[in-house]
């Protein structure tokens, strides 16, 4: 356990950041899951609409430094490739 006052304060801050990061990651993963369901069902128009939401969620996660920039860009690229393949 932390001993100094500064370490205790940093620990409290990290616990707060952990909650917000997990919320942000959950939002991203749920958006990706719903997009993948639309891709499997073959609904291209809805998948394209959902792609905007996924991109927005990923960009917000990058902005808050929850995930890395290249990770978000890789995910967006792979998902958009799947959406483009739809008939």
User: What tokens does 53 get?
Assistant: 């939401």
Residue 44 belongs to domain spanning: 22-85
Asked if the structure places residue 34 within a domain, the reply is yes
Helix (H, G, I), strand (E, B) or coil at 1: coil
* Averaged pLDDT, 53-79: 96
pLDDT value at 57 more than 80: yes
Asked if the structure places residue 79 within a domain, the reply is yes
Provide the pLDDT for residue 14.
96
Asked if the structure places residue 7 within a domain, the reply is no
| 58, HSE (Cβ side, Cα atoms, 13 Å) | 20
User: What tokens does 8 get?
Assistant: 């205790």
Asked if the structure places residue 26 within a domain, the reply is yes
pLDDT tier, 1 (very low <50, low <70, confident <90, very high otherwise): low
Question: Is the full-model pTM beyond 0.95?
Answer: no
User: Dihedral of the CA atoms 33, 37, 39, 42 (nearest 10)?
Assistant: -170
* Averaged pLDDT, 53-82: 96
Task: Measure the CA–CA gap between 29 and 21, rounded to whole angstroms.
Answer: 12
Asked if the structure places residue 70 within a domain, the reply is yes
pLDDT value at 2 more than 80: no
pLDDT tier, 3 (very low <50, low <70, confident <90, very high otherwise): confident
Number of domains comprising the chain: 1
């Amino acid at each position: 356990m932390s001993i100094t006052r500064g370490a205790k304060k940093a620990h409290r801050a990290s616990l707060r950041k952990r909650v917000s990061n997990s919320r942000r990651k959950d939002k991203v993963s749920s958006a990706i899951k719903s997009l993948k369901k639309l891709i499997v069902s073959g609904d291209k128009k809805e998948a394209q609409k959902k792609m905007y939401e996924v991109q927005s969620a990923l960009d917000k996660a990058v902005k808050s430094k929850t995930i890395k920039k290249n990770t978000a860009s890789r995910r967006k690229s792979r998902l958009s490739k799947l959406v483009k393949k739809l008939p």
